[in-house]
Amino acid sequence: MQIKTFKGYSTHEALKRIKKEMGESAIILNSRSEEVNGKKIYTIMAARDLGVEQDKQEQEKRAIDNVENNEVEERWYQEWKYFKEQIYSLIKDSLDIPSLSSRQKTAIRHLEMEGVGQDFIMNLLVLLKRNGRSFMNILNNMIKVIPFDSPKFSDNCHIMVGPHGVGKTATILKLALKYKRENKGARICLVNVDGYQGKGKLLLKHYAELSDFEYKEIHGLKDVAALLSEASEYDRIFIDTPGLKRGMHLDLWWENSPLKLIENCHVHLVLSPVYSREQVDYYLSMFLCDRLSSLIWTKLDEACIYGTMLYTGFTTQIPISLFTYGATLKNSIVVASGPLLWNLVFKHKLPC
């Protein structure tokens, strides 16, 4: 602890000296005024914690280092991207593109304009040259599609994860209403873990009351234990989760979340094709892990191209299970299928 006395002809002058010498972290211990030779002098005693100041300096140093590291990473990424483009051009020329049919060439050009990425195109060309199977058969093998109502997703508990604002809450409501229409008398429970987003919480609670769904909130391990004890009473349990903060990963969040008690469940990553490949890569760095069961694509009606859907499906090899579109909760959701996906990509035809 450093303690020092500062004087001035006004409190403003004394405080200015304190701020200049001791910084914003200085603490005022006491102050007094006295007359010296007919002039009023203000005396202020201040202190600062040197440990706090050192921590602040270390934080500033780390912040500068992080900025420098990010700049280096960005330069490396741009150089690698350029390098890949050059390799792609060389390899593409050696793959005997002229031997492809005019329809296949047109389809490949369309996929390039959709933004599927060079890795996707390169693998497609290699597979076409290697085995000569039909174009669509190869695409279907590159992208996995498993409908949401498939037996693969038969567990009654479904957890939605994904970035803020992607439409997790709306997807849950659409799924719940769809399941209720198709299964009369089904018992459905909506669960909110996203306690920080008041809008999503109110929306779930409101529609739970309107549609005769059960509504629960999870704030700790006791809430999850109570939900698990009643889980067999519900045909479907849909759980809404918060988006992750920058630097957080789903595995780390999960281990520190009450949801870690839930073992038999399906975790679905919710994304939107309005995101660029770079943005998708950023989200994948936060959410990609072994616990993910499927990809759900939302806001299809807001996208102008759909290449990121193929890029993500190919990169992660996680199956696509569901599509949603439109602002309304009814008739704006459909289980995924190959034909629906390719109509969307090649014809921009919404699956409605």
pLDDT at residue number 102? 85
Regions in the chain scoring below 50 on pLDDT: none
Nearest to 341 by CA among 97, 170, 116, 178: 116
pLDDT at residue number 86? 60
Euclidean distance between CA atoms 333 and 328, whole angstroms: 10
* Digit-coded pLDDT (tens) for 87-111: 666 555 555 555 778 888 899 999 9
Q: 27-30: long-range contacts (C-beta < 8 A, 24 or more apart)?
A: 29/3
pLDDT at residue number 2? 73
Q: pTM to 2 decimals?
A: 0.75
pLDDT at residue number 51? 57
The fold adopted by the segment(s) 151-347 is Rossmann fold (3.40.50)
| SS3 per residue for 336-351 | CCHHHHHHHHHHCCCC
Which amino acid, 166? V
- Burial class of 286 by CB neighbour count within 10 A (0 to 12, 13 to 18, 19+): buried
Domain ranges for the chain, please list them.
2-48, 69-142, 151-347
